[in-house]
Structure formats: C-alpha cells, structure tokens
Structure 1
C-alpha cells in the first residue's frame, strides 16, 4: 500500500509539474537582445519572470517594463521589438513557417510605446502573411515595415498614435475593423481616439519624431556596458569610428546603393545571409 501510495504521489507530482510549466515546453517566441533597467514577463501559468539578456519569451507572455527601463526582443520571425519605459505588451500569436507559406504575428500594446522593425519572409497573399499590432483603439497591419506605436491612457480613455518609419502600414479603428483604412507612408502618422476613427495621415515633423523616439533609445551607458560584455565574451576588439551626421548619411547611401540592405523597405530583406562579424562602434559627432 505504501509503495502504491508513493507511486501515486510521484505520478501526481509529475502531472502537476507538466501542467504548471507549459511555457517551458513550448518553443520560444523570441529572445531578449538588449535590456536596460528592469522588465518582466508574466507567463500563461501566472508565473512572473524577471527578464535578462538572452532570456526567452513565449506566446501568451505579458511583458512589462519598469520606470527608466527598456527592452529589445528579437523574435523568431526575424522582427525586432523595442519597448519603452512603463510599457505593457502581450504576445498573442507568433507563427513563422516560410517553407509552408505561413506567417502570423499578433501583439497587443496595452500602454506605453513600442518600436518594431519587421523583417523576414512575407507572402504576396495577405491571408498567408499577417503582422499586427493591436491597441485599445486601433489595429495596425505591417508588411516589412518599421513602426512606432504609442498608447496614452488618460481619464479612463485611450488614444493611440501609430507612425511609419519605413514601409507601408495600414491602420484601422478597433471599433470598425472593416471600415476606413489609413495607409501610412514613411514619416507619416495617424491618431486613433477611443471610440473614433483614425485621423487622416499627417507628416511627422522633427519634434514629434524625436518625442516618439526619445523613450525608445537606450542610454549610452547601457550601450557601452553591452558592448563591453560582448567584446569580453567574444574576445574581440572593436574599432571606434567618429562620423559627422553628413558622413553617416553618405555612408548609409553607399550601403543602400550597393543593395546590401533595404532600410526603406525591410520586406525586401528575405533570407539574406548575415555579413561576417565585424564589431564597430559608430559615434556621431554633432557640430
């Protein structure tokens, strides 16, 4: 009887262990590529985990950043998400199977700001390829683009701002998902109030662009620390290049003209082989 009881308890313990940790048995949706300050992921089983460099995140995770904190996540679909301080984001879906002509990525931005650089494979069929950011007021559809989304909650009401930094983005109101679509060209934005429709596309001016990006940029001390960690791990010596803004623009122009990248249209970056690893620190000197 004691043996049977022990075996029964062992079986129950194993079953409970499997049931309590489903996220660990799943394939990760992405990996933390950069972090500054604190961020945590709450898994579908209710367990919370403090995120660190190279930590895994999973479908169903709710990710939250603390004050003065940022995190960048490299997803399995070759996209990069960056979350600003005080941001809450949920990974709703992530399916990336180019060999089967299937891609579906859906995220919910509850509050705060995020930037997404969406790369990888896209089908010519919208039914086969879908990449969406949903906010309390809007749905933004992305195809190989770079976007910034911001959600402000004031007095119990939400307002969403969506801006394109590269590529074409379609934005609809959550209250009318089959209605008006605002198409955003690069450097254009739209505002979607709670219960309302998206505003017409408006051009980003320098001040608004800076305001959107300020909270998403990692501090220099965090970048320096990360660079030191990388060099110590890889045993590499980085070369520092000092450039003026004009020289940097000229350099980027050369790179783009050679066809090695497609910043204006990241959807063209499909199955590119990575370049050989050359650590370089670029510092732009403002006159």
Structure 2
C-alpha cells in the first residue's frame, strides 16, 4: 500500500521518563467516488449556502452563533471565547496511560489509523518500544490532541512500524442491549450442524491479502468515466481559487534515551512559563498582541 511521506503532526510518544520524537503519517486513502455538484446550464460548481430554515433566506456568517440543544427546541448559546476555553490543551504528546493485552480492544472501537515514524534521533528508542510491545503482546492506550480535539488512541506494532489508531470513546459505542441476539453457547445447535459449519470454514480459510478485495462499484464507475473520456464526452469546469494553508513547525521534545531511562522518581519538569510583567520593554507589544489572539497561539501549537 502506498503511503504519504508528508508529516501531518509532530510530537513525541511519552511513557514514564521516555520520550520518543515522532511524526504521524496518514495510513489510509479514500477511494470512494466523489460526485461534485454542477449547474447543468453553465457547468459551474455548486456549493452550499447558509440558509435560515424558517424563512428560507440566506444569512451572513456574522449573524450565526453556535448553540447546543439540551431539550427539544431549547438551546444554550456559547460564545467563541467560551468554546475556545473548552478546547483541550495542546501538548504535542502521545501520552501513554497504560498497557493492555492486544485482544482486549474490540474492533468496533477502531476509528482511524496513522503510521508513526521516528524523527531526529528517536530511532533507537522507537525500535525499543516497538520490539517490547511485540515481545509482550501488549498495546499502549494513549491520549493525544490533534487539531484541538482530544482523542483516545491505541499504539501497536505492525511490521516495522508503530501504528496509532484513534479510538471511539466509550460513550460513542452502543451496547448490545435491545438487540435480539442468541445466547452464547446456544444448545439448540446440533453437533452435525456444527461439524458442517466448521468444515466449511476450514475449506474457505486463507491468508489475508488486501489486493484480493476491490471496491467493485468504484471500479465500474471509473470504467464508465474512462469510456466517456475515450469518446470525448467531457465537460470543462473551472474551480474557484482557494487560499493555500500552511502549518508551523513544532519544536520536538528531547530524545536523549540514556537520560530518559534513568530510574528517577519524578516526571520531567515542564518548560517554565513566562512571568506576568517580567518581559523586557521591547517585547511588551509582541506579548500584548499575542494575548489578544489566543486562537492563533493554539493553532500554532497544533
């Protein structure tokens, strides 16, 4: 499977006093059919508008506030400052909370995988964690903040890589209650039926080969597209220009393995924060400007 070399996130894996500087890379790619909306009269792209559902009229972005419905038809309106204050603190750290047996996490909790690669001088400690997890049959449960959102995640070895798979929170996964399910170890199954079922499973058993499985719908649609291109049955669509986005570089945490593995009973000291009023006069204006834009600081940290 082809993977992207672009680093989506930089930070460090942290457990105990060990810090492993790493970067995240996307481990999946979307292969579905993306049908764009077009105006058939002019072949212009069709976008979405902000519509007042009662009046049917389009409204300006400045008139929109964010509300949370707590009862049917009853809302609490939150200001941008209140929402900003609720965002989790960005630490650029994959903070390991505990290690568990790999078989304990149900598949239903898995949401989105990322490849984790070492950066700077973190290769040796990265390999140590990968091999230790593989040898013990454990996976790590961790918390990580990505783009102002906190995630529960598991960190597991997969071949030469460590994979960080974001998990759904416990209250996001429904239980079995209310489902009409047969009891485990149902006695109504006849021995002959079980024998035939296990025999069929044995006959159909093979090895996992992802290339054996294709999205047939996507393939048929793309074949139709290719045929129309061959026939010259195409339309020209001019897409509107979009502003380019960028991300700031993040200073990586320390990767000194020998120092990190020393048996010290305290956690590494956090970098001291700047004291109020203790700034040199030439930096006062910069600090005041930064204080007025907390969202910009948070985005830079992300």
Superposition TM-score, scaled by structure 2 size: 0.18
| Structure of larger gyration radius | 2
Give the structure with the higher percent strand.
1
Superposition TM-score, scaled by structure 1 size: 0.18
Give the structure with the higher percent helix.
2
